[in-house]
Amino acid sequence: MTAVTKVYGVGDAAVTALDGIDFEARAGEVVVVMGPSGAGKTTFLTIAGALLRPTSGTVEIAGTEVTRLGERDLPAVRRDKVGFIFQSFNLLESLTALENVRLVISDEHSNRRTLTNRARELLNMMGLSHRLGSLPKQLSGGEKQRVAIARALANNPDLILADEPTANLDFKRGQEVMGLLRQIAVELEKAVVIVSHDQRVRAVAHRASWLQDGRFRAAGAPARDPVCGQLVEVEGAPTASFNSRAYYFCAERCLTLFQAGPQEYVKIKAG
Amino acid sequence: MLLVARKNLFSERTRLIISVGGVALSVLLITFLLSLFRGWNEKVGGFVEEVDADVWIAREGTTDFLAAASILPLEGVDERFSHFDSVERWSPLIVRPMAATKDGSEIDVEFVGFDTETGMGGPVGIKEGKEVPGPGEVIVDEALSRRNGVKVGDTIGAGGRDWRVVGKSSGGDFVAAATIFVALEEAQDVLEMEGFATFFLLQMKNPDRAALWARIIEDQEAGIMAITSDDFAAATRDRALGDVIPILTVILILAFIVGLAVAGLTIYTATVEKAREYGILKAMGFTNGYLYRVVFEQSLVTGLLGFTVGAGLTLLLAPFAQDFVPQFVVFVRWQDLLAVAGCTLLMVILAAYIPVRRLAAIDPVAAFNA
């Protein structure tokens, strides 16, 4: 992405979601994009995945400048060059695990059996060989996400975009999924971009970027807002001290609430 | 069939049953009504077409066979028709709609007196008993036997006299009434029509030119009308069914709308319920065209199943319809089934139209909403 800006609305109602950002993810690396709610993470992800057009700037995916393409050409880019992993898995409920993966494989030159074998192979790789015929409702959260990862890899894309992939998983399953994503990046030479609030993601990422107010900032150690619980980049955040300790807030509103009764929030945290 | 379409359709059994049932009900209703119309059409005009005559002569102003109030004098007819070389032979026929009685109950009949020597205008076919009625004897159409239980050997009242049933004929069912046949002289006697007839039936030497000769006869003979058998049958059908057709048409349209509404609503709600999944597919690179095909295939298969069930039920039930309701004379034609298949196709295309519009509006970015 080069100098990408996205503005929603016009005139007084205009909101700048992304403000001239540059971003690059290379094959073989995991990049995590973190930031508070409303920072522009989803906008970033949807533009990176050729789902949304930027107001200005250029987006290139695996050598294709998608901002130059017409609407008719974008689905093919998304299908062949990008793999999506969603927060809530987004598997098709009436399809089995195998069918969910098989469905998205878009090799017109292969026969049905070859495509099914490819889907089976991907699911085996995810450790789901015993779950091929299971419907999503019969799978655990971790299994669903592994099916979703297999689906994202179905067309051997260069770029994997993951939106909060661990948000609906417990600690152990989240760790497993993150390990899997790193393994995919390294062993299959994919660029994996993860948007997440989860601090654990930082541990497996090669790089971390902090997105706030539509711009990337240096990714220092974030603090947790004691009022809303959100991760906050320390630099430039509203701050207050209590009991000789500094607290950082995502917005003035949280700061005001904290100042009205700091014991409540500190106590909760301590408790 | 596309995997998503097949799975969406067959994973929701109840919805599938409702939508297929709706289309099937609509198809059943449409095919039954069409078959009923065909059946009536066949019966009502059938007798006039089957009578061994090319041209019918009646008093001027006569509209059809059923409401026959024509009176024609027989005197000098031989001489008048002898001027027309094209006439092979002719025969008088008396027809009078009336109520016959059997065991105290009234039966609507077309009382027909025919010349037993020529046989013209007599029973189209004989199913049982005598072919020619003698004095005091009557041959009844099998429809009377079926609907009113009249059997050979029974006695029925008609025209103020009792008649012994000596035969059962076919081809004289007019649905609302049926023919009973007596000898011409008997009919003249009962109806006090000595020297008169209702119609003259003409057989032409060249039946292909019957229409031309009908016009010539009509021009040269004052106070009469001459009409070909086909035209007279059409006029009789029009008389009997003309008022029914608009009602049938309205019911057919309503049946079509019912099928369309059921199929459309179920497919639309299925599409709305799956809107998120369609958004996911869009996000993953599936084109609108693919998604339209998914919805259209669901609609098409629903229509196909509905048509198969509806048409199958029609074919299954049609032979027994008259056993339950004697007037329910149905005649299922493959051409009508083909037309109903076309209607069903139109129904499913229309049913898929609104859901397809809904699909076009789905934003793939919504797939990122948790």
In chain B, which residues have their Cβ closer than 8 Å to the Cβ of A167?
Answer: 370
Q: Are B26 and A114 in contact (CB under 8 A)?
A: no
User: Per residue in B14-42, pLDDT tens?
Assistant: 989 988 998 899 899 899 888 988 888 88
Q: Is the pLDDT of residue B43 over 90?
A: no
- Residue A265: band (very low, low, confident or very high) from pLDDT cuts 50, 70, 90: confident
Q: Are B41 and B237 in contact (CB under 8 A)?
A: yes
Q: What is d(CA A10, CA B4) in angstroms, rounded to the nearest whole number?
A: 39
What's the pTM?
Answer: 0.74
pLDDT for res B327: 77
Mean pLDDT of B110-132: 94
Q: Are A168 and A177 in contact (CB under 8 A)?
A: no
Q: Are A258 and A245 in contact (CB under 8 A)?
A: no
Contact between chains at A75 and B367 (C-beta distance less than 8 A):
no
Contact between chains at A78 and B368 (C-beta distance less than 8 A):
no
Q: What is the residue whose two structure tokens read 């299922």?
A: B332
Contact between chains at B367 and A76 (C-beta distance less than 8 A):
no
Q: Is the ipTM of this complex over 0.95?
A: no
Contact between chains at A42 and B370 (C-beta distance less than 8 A):
no
The alpha carbon dihedral of A184, A190, A194, A199 has a sign of positive
The verdict on B309 touching A (C-beta cutoff 8 Å) is: no
Position B96: which residue type? R
Instruction: With H, G, I as helix, E, B as strand and everything else as coil, classify residue B182.
Output: strand
| Radius of gyration for chain A, computed over Cα atoms and rounded to the nearest angstrom | 20
The verdict on A79 touching B (C-beta cutoff 8 Å) is: yes
Q: What is d(CA B107, CA A130) in angstroms, rounded to the nearest whole number?
A: 76
For B11, nearest residue in chain A (alpha carbons): A94
The gap from C-alpha A242 to its chain's centroid, in whole angstroms, comes to 34
Position B154: which residue type? D
In chain A, which residues have their Cβ closer than 8 Å to the Cβ of B367?
Answer: 84, 86, 90
Question: Hey, which residues 24-63 in chain A have their CB within 8 Å of chain B?
Answer: 42, 45-46, 49, 51-52
Q: Are B95 and B266 in contact (CB under 8 A)?
A: no
pLDDT for res A220: 63
Contact between chains at B368 and A46 (C-beta distance less than 8 A):
yes
Q: Is the pLDDT of residue A119 over 90?
A: yes
| Residue B151 in tokens | 């059997």
Position B347: which residue type? M
Q: Which of B4, B280, B368 sits opposite A42 (nearest CB)?
A: B368
pLDDT for res B179: 93
Q: Is the pLDDT of residue A263 over 50?
A: yes
What ranges make up the beta strands (E) of B103-151? 105-114, 125-129, 137-141
Q: Are A40 and A31 in contact (CB under 8 A)?
A: no
Q: What is the residue whose two structure tokens read 């945290």?
A: A269
Residue A239 distance to chain B (closest CA, Å)? 30
Give the range among A36-40, B145-149, B150-154, B272-276 with minimum mean pLDDT.
Answer: A36-40
| Residue A189 in tokens | 């030479």
Q: Is the pLDDT of residue A54 over 60?
A: yes
Mean pLDDT of B257-264: 86
Q: Is the pLDDT of residue A268 over 80?
A: no
Q: Is residue B361 left, alpha or beta, with left meaning phi > 0 and alpha meaning psi from -120 to 50?
A: alpha
Average pLDDT, chain A: 88
Question: How would DSSP label each residue in B264-322?
Answer: HHHHHHHHHHTHHHHHHHHHTT--HHHHHHHHHHHHHHHHHHHHHHHHHHHHHHHHHHH
Q: Are B228 and B57 in contact (CB under 8 A)?
A: no
Q: Is the pLDDT of residue A205 over 50?
A: yes
Q: What is d(CA B173, CA A72) in angstroms, rounded to the nearest whole number?
A: 65
Q: Are A18 and A213 in contact (CB under 8 A)?
A: no
Average pLDDT, chain B: 90
Contact between chains at A79 and B286 (C-beta distance less than 8 A):
yes
| Residue B351 in tokens | 């049913």
Q: What is d(CA A3, CA B119) in angstroms, rounded to the nearest whole number?
A: 101
For B12, nearest residue in chain A (alpha carbons): A94
Q: How many CB pairs below 8 Å do chains A and B form together?
A: 65
Task: Name, in order, each residue with C-beta under 8 angstroms of B136's C-beta and a sequence gap of 6 or more.
Answer: B161, B162, B163, B164, B186
Residue whose C-alpha is closest to residue B190's, from B148, B119, B133 = B133
Q: Is the pLDDT of residue A219 over 70?
A: no
Instruction: With H, G, I as helix, E, B as strand and everything else as coil, classify residue B67.
Output: coil
User: Per residue in A232-243, pLDDT tens?
Assistant: 777 677 888 888
The verdict on B283 touching A (C-beta cutoff 8 Å) is: yes
Question: How would DSSP label each residue in B312-343?
Answer: HHHHHHHHHHHHH-TT------HHHHHHHHHH
The verdict on B284 touching A (C-beta cutoff 8 Å) is: yes
Give the range among A170-179, A186-195, B87-96, B162-171 with minimum mean pLDDT.
Answer: A170-179
Q: Which of A51, A92, A164 sits opposite B283 (nearest CB)?
A: A51
Domains in chain A (CATH in brackets) are: 25-50+72-217 (3.40.50.300), 224-270 (no CATH)
